[in-house]
Amino acid sequence: MKIILASASPRRRQLLENVGLHDFEIIHPCYEESFSPDASPEETVCELSRGKARSVAGALPGDAVIIAADTIVYLDGEILGKPRDELDACAMLKALSGREHRVFTGVTVLRGEREITSFECTLVRFRELSDREIAAYVQSGESFGKAGAYGAQGLGALLVERIEGDYFNVVGLPLCRLARMLEELGVRLL
């Protein structure tokens, strides 16, 4: 059985390797990430992960297991995706400073005709950040390619005061939920 990670994220690849999955292939999904502004964050991440998984499914054998995920940061009723540039990253971090936000990750697992999609939500609180700290973090380059302009697994750990829920969800792949989904499709990680 072939396992495919439909993601360009090195963090997701590393998380799968950390739980003992080493024999998998990475295929970058060809999927235009767009969503309805009226959709809930749960609906948004589920739809995005489903689209990524389906975008790679057609070229693979039916018994292949495809894993896809999408993560967003949700603050004040607004979805914060990946920053467009340094100004956007600074604005996101300033908005998150000293406040709580939610991180949503949608996960889709496909195997043949079977498709399972779910999501995880984690509450994250940032400490108060000075303008100098925000600028220094953005200058590190770590903001780019990450929802909400931060990564909790690197220098971004210095911004996070508290996490309630699945830490790995904040990194981009809720491993406990994923393991249960894979088990439903006959893939056991333990």
| DSSP β-ladder status, 78-80 and 100-111 | unpaired
From residue 63, alpha-carbon distances to 36, 59, 69, 113 in Å are: 32, 12, 20, 9
Would you call 166 a catalytic residue per the annotation?
A: no
109 CA to centre of own chain: 14
131 CA to centre of own chain: 26
Which of 23, 70, 85, 166 is flagged as catalytic? 70
Residue reference for tokens 């993560």: 71
Residues tagged active-site: 70
